[in-house]
């Protein structure tokens, strides 16, 4: 189902032509579309050890070059596997944008609310966030989500207007307004992945094995990388994660605000077109309201 008004139709036939024309050495490999709740890229498995990612809509195009530039620098310093860029595709065969080929990473997406080893996954996620923050950020790009949380306010208010009758918008607004009173980040800008949601994490045996989709990686307020506490972990494991990351009151509040704002904005947009994203957004809102209560 199309999720965006300006989304392109991308199918196996198109991707096969692109591969044959630009990477003929892989033209004979099996190709199939992957089921994915991803909102920015269409994904196709190529052979046994590759994945092809193509932007669905114009706003996802810039992330192609962004990922290919920063993944080689960041990936080696992180404790979980990162996608290995294998090739950059160019526009062609009617497809107007660049695209990319990466090495395949085994694992599966964790399911919020049904985590096998919550405390261990919390520690793994904290180790990942901490390692990313330690990488030299002096030349890093401004993070898409490394900005003050208040910049989200107009979009949260608009989304709440669309959600009237579907969620407790009054309770959400109260939590959001409380979050906005948290002090802003005053320390040096640090690296943050920016989108550590379940769909961008892979686990094996209950442990974090890989992190994918670096389209939002950048430097700024690293509190956004605390969103996993509410988007993924059960309440009992949040304290483990917080202690391991070393988040103070203000940073923890901003992290909660980021998780809430992402969920609130996504829910009306994907309510009909992407049920997994909508379901996860409802889960996050419910967890944050339960915690506030």
* Claim to verify: residue 65 and residue 133 sit in the same structural domain: no
CATH number at residue 27: 3.30.200.20
This prediction has a pTM of 0.95
Same domain, 210 and 177: yes
For residues 133 and 278, state if they share a domain: yes
- Hey, what are 31's tokens? 């190709």
Residues 280 and 143 both lie in one domain: yes
Give the pLDDT of residue 36. 79
In a domain, 147, yes or no: yes
Residue 5 lies in a domain: no
pLDDT of 41 reads 94
Whether 1 maps to a domain, the answer reads no
CA angle centred on 145, ends 144 and 150, rounded to 5°: 120
pLDDT for 206: 93
Q: How far is CA 197 from CA 6, 17, 225, 226, in A?
A: 24, 32, 9, 10
**Distances 278 to 73, 103, 185, 264 between C-alpha atoms, Å:** 33, 29, 29, 10
Domain closes at, from 78, 103, 128 = 103
Looking at the fold, whether 98 and 122 belong to one and the same domain comes out as: no
Question: Of 74, 103, 132, which marks where a domain is finished?
Answer: 103
- pLDDT tens for the chain, 293 residues: list them: 788 889 999 999 999 999 999 999 999 999 999 987 789 999 999 999 999 999 999 999 999 999 999 999 999 999 999 999 999 999 999 999 999 999 999 999 999 989 999 999 999 999 999 999 999 999 999 998 999 999 999 999 999 999 999 999 999 999 999 999 999 999 999 999 999 999 999 999 999 999 999 999 999 999 999 999 999 999 999 999 999 999 999 999 999 999 999 999 999 999 999 999 999 999 999 999 999 98
Residues 154 and 64 in one domain: no
Output the pLDDT for position 71.
95
pLDDT of residue 138: 93
CATH number at residue 212: 3.90.1200.10
Query: Domain tally for the chain?
Result: 2
Instruction: Give me the domain span that covers residue 56.
Output: 12-103
Q: Do the strands 99-103 and 207-211 form a parallel or antiparallel pair, or are they unpaired?
A: unpaired
Please give the pLDDT value at position 144. 87
Is residue 148 included in any domain, yes or no? Answer: yes
Are 73 and 130 found together in one domain?
no
């Amino acid at each position: 189902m199309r999720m965006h008004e300006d989304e392109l139709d991308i199918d196996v036939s198109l991707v096969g032509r692109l591969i044959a024309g630009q990477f003929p050495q892989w033209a004979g490999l099996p190709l199939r579309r992957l089921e994915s709740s991803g909102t920015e890229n269409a994904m196709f498995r190529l052979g046994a050890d590759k994945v092809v990612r193509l932007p669905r809509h114009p706003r996802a195009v810039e992330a192609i070059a962004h990922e290919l530039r920063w993944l080689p620098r960041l990936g080696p310093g992180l404790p979980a596997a990162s996608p290995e860029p294998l090739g950059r595709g160019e526009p062609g065969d009617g497809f107007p944008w660049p695209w990319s080929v990466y090495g395949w990473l085994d694992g599966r997406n964790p399911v919020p609310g049904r985590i096998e080893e919550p405390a261990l996954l919390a520690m793994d996620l904290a180790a990942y966030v901490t390692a990313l923050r330690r990488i030299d950020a002096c030349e890093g790009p401004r993070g898409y989500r490394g900005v003050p949380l208040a910049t989200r306010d107009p979009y949260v208010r608009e989304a709440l207007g669309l959600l009237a009758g579907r969620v407790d918008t009054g309770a959400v607004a109260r939590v959001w307004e409380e979050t906005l009173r948290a002090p802003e980040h005053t320390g040096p800008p640090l690296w943050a992945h920016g989108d550590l949601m379940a769909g961008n994490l892979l686990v094996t045996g209950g442990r974090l094995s890989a992190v994918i989709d670096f389209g939002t990686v950048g430097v700024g307020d690293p509190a956004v990388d605390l969103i996993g506490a509410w988007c993924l972990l059960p309440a009992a494991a949040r304290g483990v994660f917080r202690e391991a990351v070393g988040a103070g009151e203000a940073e923890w509040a901003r992290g909660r605000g980021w998780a809430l704002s992402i969920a609130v904005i996504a829910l009306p947009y994907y309510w009909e077109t992407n049920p997994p994203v909508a379901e996860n957004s409802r889960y996050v809102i419910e967890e944050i309201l339960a915690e506030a209560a």
